[in-house]
């Protein structure tokens, strides 16, 4: 009873996730799993908070709710536009390389970002891969926006679009057992390299504790916890897909 009373006295913070980025975050149908929710829970609980995971219909909604203070925390890339509404940790969570996923039956000719203006690409609502990518590619109107990675890669499989910029690790894991994805490959050249960071709404009470957040994040990096969560998430995601395949008639 004393423990229950102690937990109930802890302030509650809302963490927003759109779990379609294994092994960073994904859903097993019951809960959000992956590196991101594991890390956020650990860091915020060490700072004395309870954490409520909020799942919305797309990533753009998560960012909007964080900007307007309806949720406290997201895990995201830092961009100039996002910095207007969010405070980003100085300590990065994870280095991520963005690759171009294409259909090898008809791959685009890609040497520099400007080359992509001649092709149709697919992105999830709210995604951004940096100001240079947005200026060179997105603002030229050749991007089709969708709500799910399944839908996006499905269009690439059917050659309705020509490319998908996506985190290399996440994309490779996603297409491993995706039906029909045998012709989907990631080009070796990176589109960009960026770092996922813990981002806090400027309207959140947590905004005053960014220095403490950095200390906690560095602790998780130094202890090897982030790498362990990443590896556990990859194994868990593959196990879920294997079980789903075994249940199919």
Average pLDDT over residues 72-92: 95
Last residue of a domain, one of 167, 194, 221: 194
pLDDT band at 122 (very low <50, low <70, confident <90, very high): very high
Shared domain check, 29 and 115:
no
CATH number, domain with residue 124: 3.40.190.10
Average pLDDT over residues 163-175: 94
Which pLDDT score, from 0 to 100, does residue 8 have?
Answer: 57
| Contacts of 24 by beta carbon, 8 Å cutoff, 6+ apart | 34, 35, 36, 75, 94, 167, 170, 196, 233
Which pLDDT score, from 0 to 100, does residue 127 have?
Answer: 87
Shared domain check, 137 and 50:
no
pLDDT band at 141 (very low <50, low <70, confident <90, very high): confident
- Our count of domains for the chain comes to 2
Shared domain check, 146 and 202:
no
Shared domain check, 188 and 101:
yes
* Structural domain boundaries enclosing 114: 96-194
Shared domain check, 38 and 151:
no
Shared domain check, 118 and 167:
yes
pLDDT band at 51 (very low <50, low <70, confident <90, very high): very high
Question: Directed axis angle between helix 35-46 and helix 225-247, to 10°?
Answer: 140
Shared domain check, 60 and 26:
yes
- How many angstroms separate the Cα of 88 from the Cα of each of 47, 181, 217? 17, 35, 12
The model's pTM is 0.85
């Amino acid at each position: 009873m004393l423990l229950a009373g102690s937990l109930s006295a802890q302030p509650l913070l809302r963490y927003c996730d759109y779990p379609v980025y294994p092994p960073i975050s994904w859903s097993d149908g019951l809960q959000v799993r992956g590196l991101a929710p594991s890390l956020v829970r650990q860091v915020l609980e060490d700072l004395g908070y309870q954490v409520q995971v909020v799942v919305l219909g797309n990533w753009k909604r998560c960012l909007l709710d964080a900007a307007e203070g309806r949720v406290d925390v997201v895990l995201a890339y830092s961009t100039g536009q996002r910095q207007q509404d969010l405070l980003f940790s100085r300590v990065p969570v994870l280095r991520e390389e963005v690759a171009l996923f294409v259909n090898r039956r008809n791959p685009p000719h890609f040497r520099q970002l400007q080359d992509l203006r001649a092709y149709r690409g697919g992105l999830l609502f709210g995604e951004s891969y940096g100001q240079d990518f947005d200026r060179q590619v997105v603002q030229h109107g050749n991007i089709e926006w969708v709500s799910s990675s399944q839908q996006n890669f499905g269009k690439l499989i059917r050659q309705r679009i020509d490319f998908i910029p996506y985190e290399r690790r996440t994309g490779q894991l996603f297409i491993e057992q995706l039906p029909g994805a045998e012709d989907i490959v990631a080009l070796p050249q990176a589109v960009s390299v960026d770092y996922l960071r813990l981002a806090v709404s400027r309207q959140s009470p947590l905004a005053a504790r960014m220095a403490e957040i950095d200390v906690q994040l560095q602790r998780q990096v130094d202890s090897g916890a982030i790498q362990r969560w990443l590896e556990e998430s990859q194994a868990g995601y593959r196990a879920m897909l294997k079980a789903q395949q075994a249940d199919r008639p």
